[in-house]
Amino acid sequence: MTSPCPSGAVLLGLVDGDLGPDEAAAVEAHLASCPSCRDLARGFRADRPAFPEPELPPGFWASFDARLRARLPRRSSLLRRMWEVRVAVPVPALVAAAAALILLGAVGARSRPVGVPGAPVDRVVASDVDAAHIWISDLM
Amino acid sequence: MGVPARERFEQVYRRCRARVVGYVHLMTRDLETAAEIAQETFLRAHEERSLWEDPSSRPEAWLFRVAGNLARNHLRARGRRLPLPEPGATPDTLDLVLRRDDRSRVVAGLDRLAPSYAQVLLMRYYAGLSCAAIADELGVAPGTVMARLHRARRLLRRYVQ
């Protein structure tokens, strides 16, 4: 006695490879003894929809890529470099290095005569410390 | 986004960008709109960190669901699916153009399908997603996707003939 005919959706699932192994085996067994379901399955195989691709103008993908790149959130070059360093260097080592940098900056600032106007070294040290803070906040 | 996640995004982007543009183009029939919607889809995907950081995620299915929804919203807002005929063209002229070859007829048939049928049809046979992935992404049972595919194919065959 043959099993009841599966639904069209299940037959299509078999043809498309969307059934689990047990269900697929059961439907295959049914097909072996049911010519009308075999015909239906054959029709599904022959009738698989095919859709046209769009005709693209020359340079389409270069322009598409460039537009997307310009719209993606951008990091500053400093942060981007740090992002890459983050992978290569362990975080504790970077934290220690930044702390040392801050300490050196503080010692250096204290060792210079106070009240010398416009000393360029102060500005350099201050900007390094700021950069270290940015680095650390990005790493945390 | 960490380096592995960024690399995963870039791989999926390279692999899927043409299919996403083609998929939206089939739905909207307008290349500029398709490119814009595909851009928006990839921008949203880029922000969706779990897609790239969670190894069990299915970014491809996510892309086609979001692109499909954006395309459907666009069509709803525009209130029509086919481009308007050229001035002076009669409906018969347009019909002849659409029937120029089988693939054009398939595309014309797509327009007559309910959006939920067109969406699963394109996700399965154009985007190449599995039935399980489509079901996951749409939040329905795999059997529902198979039933929609079956119905959609029957209707499409009828519309194309």
**Would the pLDDT of B88 be above 80?**
no
- Between A115 and A20, name the one with better pLDDT: A20
Tokens 């906040």 — which residue?
A137
Q: What is the mean pLDDT of residues B29-41?
A: 95
Question: What length does chain B have?
Answer: 161
A-chain residues near B153 (CB < 8 A): 12, 44, 47, 49
| Residue of A15, A18, A48 to mutate, testing the B interface (most B Cβ within 10 Å of its Cβ) | A18
Q: State pLDDT tens for residues B115-129.
A: 889 999 999 999 999
Contacts across the A-B interface (CB distance below 8 Å): 83
**Would the pLDDT of A134 be above 50?**
no
User: Poorest-confidence range of A25-29, A112-116, B60-64, B75-79?
Assistant: A112-116
Angle at A32 between CA A29 and CA A38, to 5 degrees: 110
Q: What tokens appear for A38 in the block?
A: 């075999």
**Would the pLDDT of A40 be above 80?**
yes
Please count the other Cβ atoms lying within 10 Å of the Cβ belonging to residue A11.
23
Identify residue A88 by its one-letter amino acid code. A
Interface of A with B in 41-70 (CB under 8 A): 44, 47-54, 56, 60-61, 64, 67-68
Instruction: Give residue B77's pLDDT.
Output: 87
B-chain residues near A21 (CB < 8 A): none
User: Poorest-confidence range of A58-62, B1-5, B35-39?
Assistant: B1-5
Instruction: Give residue A129's pLDDT.
Output: 36
Residues 6+ positions from B30 with CB-CB distance below 8 Å: B83
User: Poorest-confidence range of A52-61, A68-77, B60-69?
Assistant: A68-77
Tokens 């065959």 — which residue?
B157
What global pTM score does this model have?
0.68
**Whole-angstrom distance, CA of residue A59 vs CA of residue B29:** 20
